[in-house]
Amino acid sequence: MEGHPYGYNIPISEKTKEVPWEEKVRIYEEVKSDFRFKEFLFGCLNCGVCTASCPSNRFFDYSPREIVQRFLEEDVEVIYDMMHEYIWACSQCFTCWIRCPFVNNPGGLVIIMREVAVRNAFEATKDLLKPYGRVLLKVMTTGNQLSADMLQPDFFPDWGPKMLDNMENLRAKRMAIPFDVGKSVKTAWEVSLETAIEMYQIWRETGIFEMLEKLDPNLYNVIMDIVEENEERWEELMEEEEEE
C-alpha cells in the first residue's frame, strides 16, 4: 500500500526511499533539536480543527494535523519526505496554532522544517525557491523585502490595468509621497548605508550568507558583490570622515 496507514496519503517519493536511513534520521534530529520544537509540539486529539480551518488545506494536499501526528509518531521517513515539497504549501497564518486545544503550533513546526530544508540545500527546496531569488536579493542587500521597482507589471499581469498605470513615471510618483525617507524607488524607504552594513554583519555572524551559498551559488555571488561594494563604500566614507 502506498502512503501512510494513518492518513498521509501522498506516496513516499522514490528519491526519499533511496536516501540512506541514517541521513533521514540526521535530518529528523536536526529538526527536533531546535529549541522551539518542545514549545510547538504537545499532545494531539486528532480532532482535525487545525486542518479544518487551514487555508492551504483548501487548495493543496496539505494538512497541519498530519505534521503534528507524524512528529508524535516519530515517523522519520514521512517527515523527511514532507520536507521536500509538502511543507511549502503552508501559508504561515497560524490559524492552526490559535485553534488547537492542545496549543500545538503546526505552522511553527513547518518553519523549523523549512529552515532545516534550506540549511541542507534540498534539491526540491532549491527549485521551489528559484522564482523567489529576486526577493532574496533585495532583502539580503537592502534590509527591505519589497520596493516600488519590484512591482513591475510584467510580473503581475493578473493585478490588472491600474498596476500598469501605477508604474509609469514611477520616480516622480515616489517623489510625491508626503513623508521623509519614503520617496525611494529601489528600497521601501531610504535605508541608511550604516544600517545595511550592520545587517550584513548579522547575516555573516548568524550563518545566513552560508545558507544562501548552498541554496543558490549564483545568487550568493551577486549578493556578495553588492555587499562587498557597499562595505568598501562605507570604509571609504569612514576614512574620509576621520581625515576631516
Partner 1 sequence: MGHGKSPYLRYADPEPFPILNKHSHYDHLFEEMHELEEKGEILVYRITEENKPVEVYTRTGRIKTIPAAKLWHHKSCGQCGNIPGYPASIFWFMNKFGYDYLNEPHQTSCTAWNYHGSGTSNPVALAAVWLRNMHQAWKTGYYPLIHCGTSFGSYKETREQLIFNKELRDAVKPILKKLGRLTEDGRIVIPQEVVHYSEWVHAMRHKIKELYEKEGKAKGIDVSNVRVAIHNACHTWKMMADDYPYDPEVYNGQRPAASTAVIKALGAQVVDYSTWYDCCGFGFRHILTEREFTRSFAIQRKLKVIAEEVKADLIVTHDTGCTTTFEKNQWIGKAHGMYHPIAVMSDVMFAALACGAHPFKVVQLYWNCSNYEPLLEKMGITNWKELKKEWEDAVKKISELEKEGKYDELLEFFKEYDLYEPYSKTSDGFKRKRSATADMPLFKS
Residues 77-106 that bind partner 1 (CB under 8 A): 88, 91-95, 97-98
Q: Which one of 21-29, 43-51, 56-64, 74-82 is the stretch in contact with partner 1 (CB under 8 A)?
A: 56-64
Q: How far apart (Å, rounded) are the C-alpha atoms in residues 62 and 205?
A: 35
Nearest distance, CB of residue 47 and partner 1, angstroms:
17
Total length of the chain: 244
Q: Choose between 22 and 242: whose C-beta lies nearer to partner 1.
A: 242
Q: How far apart (Å, rounded) are the C-alpha atoms in residues 182 and 153?
A: 21
Nearest distance, CB of residue 225 and partner 1, angstroms:
15
Nearest distance, CB of residue 223 and partner 1, angstroms:
11
Q: Choose between 44 and 148: whose C-beta lies nearer to partner 1.
A: 148
Q: Which of 25, 33, 156, 217 binds partner 1 (CB under 8 A)?
A: 156
Nearest distance, CB of residue 19 and partner 1, angstroms:
20
Which 3 state secondary structure label does DSSP give 170? helix
Task: Check if the beta carbon of residue 185 is closer than 8 Å to that of residue 178.
Answer: no
Q: Choose between 76 and 151: whose C-beta lies nearer to partner 1.
A: 151
Work out whether 120 is an interface residue with partner 1 (CB under 8 A).
Answer: no
Q: Which three cell numbers stand for residue 162?
A: 491600474
Single-letter code of the amino acid located at 241: E
- Report the 10 Å Cβ neighbour count for 227: 19
Q: Which three cell numbers stand for residue 30?
A: 536536526
Q: Which of 68, 46, 69 is nearest to 112 (CA)?
A: 68
Q: How far apart (Å, rounded) are the C-alpha atoms in residues 189 and 152?
A: 18
Q: Which of residues 162-221 bind partner 1 (CB under 8 A)?
A: 162-163, 166, 169, 171-184, 186-196, 198-199, 201-203, 205-208, 211-212, 215
